[in-house]
Amino acid sequence: MVAYHDDEWGLPCHDDIELFERLALESFQAGLSWSTILRKRDSFRAAFRGFDPRVVAGFDASDRERLMGDAGIVRNRAKIDATIGNATAFLETAAEFGSFDAYLAEHVPGPPPRLPPDATMGSIPATTPVSDALSADLRRRGFKFVG
C-alpha cells in the first residue's frame, strides 16, 4: 500500500493502457477494499492480458468463463462484463479525442487544490462537480461501474 501511495496514487498518468488498467481496477474495487484489489493486481494483469483495451474489447464468451474461473481475480460477472464493455467504450472515446488521456484533459481542469494541513477525512468530499460530470459523461458513453 505504501508503494502504491507513494508511486501511483494521485500522480498524473498519460498512458492509455495504464489509464484503462486504473479504470478497470477501480470498477472491480466497487464495494471492496482497495488493498484486496492491489493484492490481486498481478493476477488481474495476467487475466486481462495486460489491460490492453484492444485485446480486452475482443474477449468473448470463453474469455468470460475463463475469467469467472480465475481465483486470482474478483469473480464478479457484472464487473467482468463491465470491464469488457468498458474496453470498447474506452477505444471509441480514445478514437474520438485522439487518446483517452486527451478526453480526460478536456474534462478535468487540473490537479485538485492542496488540502489544508488540518484537513480530516470527513472534510474531504467524496465527489466534486467535476467528478460528477465526468462520471455522468462516461456513463453516457456506455461505461459501467464508473460512479
- Enumerate the active-site residues: 4, 26, 34
The overall longest dimension of the chain from CA atoms, in Å, is: 52
The answer to whether 79 touches 143, Cβ cutoff 8 Å, is no
Sequence letter at residue 91: L
Cell numbers standing for residue 85: 464493455
DSSP states of 74-141: ---HHHHHHHHHHHHHHHHHHHHHSSHHHHHHHH--SSPPPPPTT--GGGS-S--HHHHHHHHHHHHT
The answer to whether 95 touches 87, Cβ cutoff 8 Å, is no
